[in-house]
Amino acid sequence: MFPNPRICEVITRFRQAMVLNLCNGVMYKCFCNVGESDKLPDWVKSPSAEDSHDDFVIPSTMNWVGGLRVHDGKLDSKHGSFGIVDDNDVEIVARILMGSFARFEDVVGALNGCDSRPSNSLVDKMLKRFSNDWVRAFGLFKWARMDIRYSHSADAYDSMIDILGKLKQFDVMWGLVEEMIEVGGLISARTMSKIMRRLAGAGRWVDAVMVFREVERYGLTRDTSCMNLLLDTLCKERCVEHAQDVFLEFKNVIPPDQHSFNILIHGWCKARRLENARSIMEDMGNYGFHPCVISYTSFIEAYCRDKDFRKVDSLLNEMQEKGCPPNIVTYTVVMHSLGKAKETNEAMEVYGKMKRNGCVPDTSFFNSLIYILSKAGRLQDAHKIYEEMSRSGSSPNATTYNTMIAAACEHSQEKSALKLLQEMEERGCEPDLKTYAPLLKMCCRKKWIKVLSYLLNDMVRKDISLDLGTYSIIIHGLCKSEQLEKACKFFEEVVLKGLVPFNSTFNLLVGVLERKNMEEAKRRVQDLMMQAENSEKSRRPVSFV
């Protein structure tokens, strides 16, 4: 079937790559089996194999896989920034972190037993890989800090702060902040932004505001820029009332700028409190500012959200009359909203109107148009827009590919989806979790467990950390495929990361185990869920001091 020797060589390399990928996974070692065994897909074992419900042939990816090279027992890639880094220290540390750890101190102890030295690249890579696993991330961070020959960069501290805040480990986070103060010169506006954002996201608005009040303690100036950071953080976390209180308290001490008003206008519009937004717009004049395209676009977005397109058209005309014409962001908002309302033809008319008005589309606009056409099932038209992007000078970005991959997966065009993933990497566009989520979901839906295995380990190689939602997709898929042992291992991994599984995921897994009379596994899952819930309850709010 494949007489070309080059193709045969590619198949052989892919077989080797699959074996190594399956065994090099950090979190996904539950898929690894000794040798090739019957766990490898037929399309890897034999080019002439017939499809089964669990395996499928991917001829479009063969050349891509041919770019993988195996030497000295290690997998390498032409795409260096996305493949396995051939840094021995990284491999050693990654293998140690394959273990199960209940406490970050255990991670430190395990790493102390290796001869590897920390470096900026190693720490950055591992923090990215374990961005949703604070125990491993912080254990690695503490281990590296103990080496007198190494000092963490400000970026590494900021990344660790963000991980701890995201996973609501605020007591540990504050301890790290104190360490940054002692070292000196590490805290920046970026650090403060991450801290305030995570606090506000966890409902700790008082603490977020207190950080701003005491910002000079960190060597920063409490100025307009810093105030805008807080206002923007609170509004994005749906705390516009608190943002308004901060503004009223400090506006006579810290002079607001036009951006300050636009942040609040957007916050009130997002909360559907348009009267409050209009009041802020009127107040702008008292400070010498006038509404701009950003101000008007916030109102347009609010009307679009309510599907009141008559008011949208009226406001667009008003903007033209006042010499404040819509910009590309305005048109993108309107077009995207029409598309979501399934008014695809009207959305396309916005595209034409924008071009007539001399407004040049950008990548975000094209991404929105591709999304609209894809959701309408017009995949060929979406691909034409994708091709037009390059001709118009707009380069596709991660969102472009994520949108198209998601559409291909939704319409069961698995070869197109994987080809897009290949093209994404060839163009130097780094995949992220949103890239893989629809691919994983598709594999679960079609019960392609072996392909799921390959994708998961490919994510490990690219340092993409799973979040709770993605874990849930995988566990649900494994349950439906009756891969219950693997589902239980992923469930355990969630708990070991300090996360609390969704009740729907827990109930599904327990229900399937009960129907299969797997009582011991069921009790283990129930114990894990209780452990996760108790751990969550035991976390005490730690206020800023």
pLDDT of residue 108: 95
User: How is 250-305 classified by DSSP, letter by letter?
Assistant: HTTTS---HHHHHHHHHHHHHTT-HHHHHHHHHHHGGGT----HHHHHHHHHHHHH
Residue 35 backbone zone (phi > 0: left; psi -120 to 50: alpha; other: beta):
left
pLDDT of residue 468: 92
pLDDT of residue 355: 84
pLDDT of residue 356: 86
- The per-residue pLDDT for range 418-452, each reduced to its tens digit, is 999 999 989 899 999 999 999 999 988 888 888 88
pLDDT of residue 7: 32
Per DSSP bridges, beta strands 74-77 and 68-71 are antiparallel
pLDDT of residue 259: 97
Whether the CB-CB separation of 492 and 528 falls below 8 Å is answered with: yes
Total residues belonging to the chain: 545
pLDDT of residue 87: 59
Rounded Cα distance, 293 and 323, in Å: 10
pLDDT of residue 10: 33
Whether the CB-CB separation of 442 and 417 falls below 8 Å is answered with: yes
- The per-residue pLDDT for range 103-149, each reduced to its tens digit, is 899 999 999 988 888 999 999 999 999 999 999 999 999 999 999 99
pLDDT of residue 76: 34
Q: What are phi and psi of 115, to 5 degrees?
A: -95, 5
Cα 147 to Cα 142, 159, 177, 386: the distances in Å are 9, 19, 20, 49
**Other CB atoms within 10 A of residue 95 CB:** 13
Identify the segments of the chain with pLDDT beneath 50: 1-86, 540-545
pLDDT of residue 483: 87
Whether the CB-CB separation of 165 and 173 falls below 8 Å is answered with: yes
Whether the CB-CB separation of 437 and 473 falls below 8 Å is answered with: yes
pLDDT of residue 539: 54
Whether the CB-CB separation of 178 and 193 falls below 8 Å is answered with: no
